[in-house]
Structure 1
Amino acid sequence: MTNTEKLVQLNQWNKDTLMETLGIVFTELGDDYLVGTMPVNSKVHQPLKMLHGGASIALAESLGSCLSNILVFSEDKAAVGTSINSNHLKSKNEGIVTGTARIIRKGKTLHFLEIEIKDEKESLICHCTMTNMVINRQIEK
C-alpha cells in the first residue's frame, strides 16, 4: 500500500470520531512521520477564545497514535497510548495549526514519539512527547 493510500485510509478511520469532530485531517505521511491539520475556531476554543490545550493534545495524540499504528499494522499489532506530555508555548485564536509526529524510537513493544504543533508562520504552539505500547491486534474473522 502506498503512503497516499494509507493517508486515505487514515482519514476514513476518522469518520464518526473525535478527529472528525475537531476537523483533523491527515495530510502527509513518510517513513517515520505523519502530518495533520486542525482548524482553530470556536469548536476548539476555551472560554478566553483561545485554542484549548486539550484540543492541541487531541491533535498530538491522534497523530502519534495513528503513526504508531501505521508502522505496526502489517504485523497484526496495534499501538495504544500510555503517556503524553505537553508544553503549551503560544496561544492561537483562529486559523489552522499543523502537527507533525515523528517516531524517535520504534521498539518491538514501545514507541516513543515527538509531536510539534505549529501555526501558519511556523511558530511552535505546542510540543508533546508520547509513549505508545505495541500490543497484539485482535483479528476480525
Structure 2
Amino acid sequence: MGIWHDEVGIEELNEKNLGCLNETLGIEITEVTPTSLKGRMPVDARTIQPAGVLHGGASVAFAETLASWAGYLAVDRSRFHVVGQEINANHIRPVAPGNWVYGEATAANIGRRAHVWEVRLTNEAGKLVCISRCTLAVLEVPSAYATADQRG
C-alpha cells in the first residue's frame, strides 16, 4: 500500500470522476502505485486553446485532480477531507490534438494539516509537458468525495 491509507480501486475513483469537471475534461485515473497516482487526459476540443494545442488551464486542472485524488488516498477519509490550497505550473512543451497527456502525482510532503504533491505531465513519448506543485489543506471533516448520484 505504500503511502496510501488503504486500498481504493481505480474503478471507484473513476466513478467519482463522473458528473463533474474531471469527466468533462476526459480525465481518467489509470494506476495507483505504492508511491504515486497516475492518470491520463485526452488532448481534444475539450482541452485545447484557440491556438490548437493543449490549454495550460486544462493541464493545471489535470494536475490538481491527480494531486487531490492522491491526497484523498493518503488520508483516513472517515476523518479527513483534502482541498486544493495552492497550485503552480510550468508549461514546457505543447501537445497537439489527437494525443494524450499522462500525469503522475508523487508526494513531496504528507503532513498532518497539509500535503504537497508534485505532478509531472508528459506526452506520449514521455517528454515533459508540464510540471506542477499542488498544496492541499487537510480538513478535519469526513471526505465529501462522492459519486454523481450521491452529490445530486
Is the TM value for this pair above 0.5?
yes
2:95 counterpart (92, 105, 124): 92
**Greater share of helix:** 1
Q: Number of paired residues?
A: 139
Q: Give how far 1:9 is off.
A: 1.2
> Is the counterpart of residue 111 in structure 1 residue 95 in structure 2?
no
Q: How does 1:33-112 map to 2 (within 5 A)?
A: 33-74=36-77, 76-94=79-97, 95-112=99-116
Structure 2 Cα separation of the partners of residues 31 and 104 of structure 1: 14
1:11 counterpart (14, 37, 56): 14
Structure 1 Cα separation of the partners of residues 24 and 100 of structure 2: 15
Q: Counterpart of 2:140?
A: 136
Structure 1 runs (4+) deviating above 3 angstroms are none
TM-score (norm 2): 0.85
Structure 2 Cα separation of the partners of residues 139 and 46 of structure 1: 33
Q: Give how far 1:139 is off.
A: 7.1
1:30 counterpart (19, 33, 38): 33
> Is the counterpart of residue 127 in structure 1 residue 125 in structure 2?
no
Q: Give how far 1:107 is off.
A: 0.6
Structure 2 Cα separation of the partners of residues 6 and 44 of structure 1: 26
Report SS of the residue matched to 1:31: coil
2:23 counterpart (6, 20, 24): 20
Report SS of the residue matched to 1:55: helix
Structure 1 Cα separation of the partners of residues 28 and 90 of structure 2: 22
Q: Are 2:120 and 2:132, in contact at CA under 8 Å, matched by a contact in 1?
A: yes
Q: Counterpart of 2:149?
A: none
Structure 1 Cα separation of the partners of residues 71 and 142 of structure 2: 16
TM-score (norm 1): 0.92
